[in-house]
Amino acid sequence: MDEFQEQQILQQQQIDNSPDTIYADNLREEKIANIISQLDPDNVLTDMEHRLRGEKKVSGNNWIPIYQNKKPVSEELISDAISFAGAFINQSTVMGNLSTDEINGIMSQIVIPTVRDSLIVKAKDYGIDEQYQEWSRIGHIICASIFIVLKRSWKGSESNKIFRMLKVTENVGGTKKNKLRDNLKFW
């Protein structure tokens, strides 16, 4: 190795270890972690739970009932809905690679019939017997929440976006220190 190459290596090591570079790398990683946390499908489940309860978001994480004098939905219904929807609304689904036919099949053969049958069979237990508008409202909330998450995995679009973002961040930083990217390599 000639003297010029040794100087380049020494300069690169100094740049990599400088406080400014370390701070910039940490800031970049925090931004990526923040974006990924905002895309977390658990937020969809939380949102779905509040909407099933008949609440609306007013600011931040504050929810209030839309109708103050309306009888609340049963906790059993909410628990059953969250449990069922959680099978689809998760990180594995979002990072998946589903085709249009697979999404349509899941919705038409699993989600819609299960939600419909559950609301019909357990209407009395849920305290919504003969409240057909409530059945529709609840069914739409559950089905739409699941569909939106399935749609995020259409042709691997969500995972492709995230990995492109990580690659651009790594290229901009000029370093291979991206711990977040290393954590996601198994995908």
C-alpha–C-alpha distance, residues 97 and 46, integer Å: 24
Is residue 131 packed enough to be buried (19+ CB in 10 Å), middle (13-18) or exposed (0-12)?
middle
pTM above 0.85, yes or no: no
Which pLDDT value is given to residue 150? 93
* pLDDT one-digit tens code per residue, 98-118: 999 999 999 999 999 999 999
Q: Has residue 155 got a pLDDT over 50?
A: yes
Q: In Å, what is the CA distance from 51 to each residue of 68, 72, 160? A: 14, 11, 30
* pLDDT one-digit tens code per residue, 65-98: 998 888 888 999 999 999 999 999 998 888 889 9
Cβ 72 vs Cβ 53: under 8 Å: yes
Which pLDDT value is given to residue 187? 45
Which pLDDT value is given to residue 132? 84
What's the mean pLDDT when you consider all of the chain? 81
Q: Has residue 139 got a pLDDT over 90?
A: yes
Comparing 7 with 166, which gets the higher pLDDT?
7
Among the ranges given (37-46, 94-103, 141-150, 159-168), the one the predictor scored with the smallest mean pLDDT: 159-168
Percent of the chain scored above 70 by pLDDT?
71
